[in-house]
């Protein structure tokens, strides 16, 4: 998607999300990045000047992180608050990831750690998702984890873990819409379906809301993401 075609792509994505929710369809996403200032670089500053990104896995990872942080920085500023950029954004391998609160990281995972205010991800796992399912995986996972960072800054409280996870999906959808509306990303043919597939693949096989690790079913996760995408972060 380019800024000139976004008026066409936005309603298409909304329709595809609606179809997926009603028909059980799956997957998609935008990419690329025109030179702009005001994005977070690898050091955690939300004001570093970026290069053009979005041509490969490493660039899409950095793009998803910087644009999501810029989105939230602007949202916080508009609300008269101060957004605190991540203190770390770390790739790891298998069982060699950073611990969080005494709990070791696990393979094939990505997580936000409130104690160190950082996001970490298993690079080989995410790269495999990227290669097999497209760049949508990066734009689902990273904005979702940054959604947890936003929850921590807002001191959000939840009675069930699934509520926390679905709100993070909603925040991810809102961040994506913000990237598109600002003209910061472009998309390629099939990206909408790709995004939906990644959301479906990340869902729980059953609707067990009381499980401490519940994230929501594919339909619930797609619906939460669509809610943020269509109605902005305030709806989350």
The pLDDT score that the predictor gives to residue 215 is 75
Is the per-residue pLDDT at 156 higher than 80? yes
Is the per-residue pLDDT at 148 higher than 90? yes
**Domain assignments of the chain as residue spans, ordered by start:** 6-235
Report phi then psi at 44, rounded to 5.
100, -5
Cα 137 to chain centroid, rounded: 9
The pLDDT score that the predictor gives to residue 41 is 34
What is the DSSP pairing of strand 110-113 with strand 118-122?
Answer: antiparallel
State what percent of residues in the chain have pLDDT above 70: 68
The C-alpha atoms of residue 176 and residue 188 are separated, in whole angstroms, by: 15
List pLDDT tens digits, range 78-134: 999 999 999 999 999 998 999 999 899 999 989 999 999 999 999 999 999 899 878
The mean of the pLDDT values for the chain is 75
Other beta carbons less than 10 A from residue 110's beta carbon = 21
| Rounded alpha-carbon distances, angstroms, from residue 97 to 26, 111, 113, 143 | 30, 10, 12, 20
The pLDDT score that the predictor gives to residue 183 is 85
């Amino acid at each position: 998607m380019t800024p000139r075609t976004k008026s066409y792509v936005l309603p298409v994505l909304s329709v595809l999300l609606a179809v997926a929710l009603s028909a059980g369809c799956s997957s998609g996403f935008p990419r690329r990045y025109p030179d702009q200032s005001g994005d977070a670089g690898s050091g955690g500053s939300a004001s570093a000047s970026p290069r053009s990104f979005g041509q490969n896995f490493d660039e899409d990872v950095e793009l998803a992180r910087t644009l999501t942080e810029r989105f939230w920085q602007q949202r916080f500023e508009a609300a008269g608050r101060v957004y605190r950029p991540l203190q770390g954004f770390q790739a790891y391998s298998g069982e060699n990831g950073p611990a969080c609160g005494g709990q070791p990281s696990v393979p094939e995972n990505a997580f936000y750690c409130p104690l160190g205010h950082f996001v970490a991800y298993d690079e080989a796992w995410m790269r495999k998702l990227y290669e097999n399912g497209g760049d949508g995986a990066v734009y689902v996972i990273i904005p979702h984890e940054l959604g947890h960072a936003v929850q921590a800054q807002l001191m959000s409280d939840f009675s069930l873990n699934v509520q926390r996870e679905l709100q993070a999906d909603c925040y991810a959808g809102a961040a994506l819409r913000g990237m598109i509306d600002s003209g910061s990303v472009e998309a390629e043919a099939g990206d909408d379906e790709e995004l939906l597939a990644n959301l479906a693949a990340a869902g729980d096989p059953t609707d067990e809301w009381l499980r401490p690790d519940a994230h929501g079913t594919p339909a619930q996760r797609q619906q939460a993401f669509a809610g943020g995408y269509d109605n902005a972060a305030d709806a989350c």
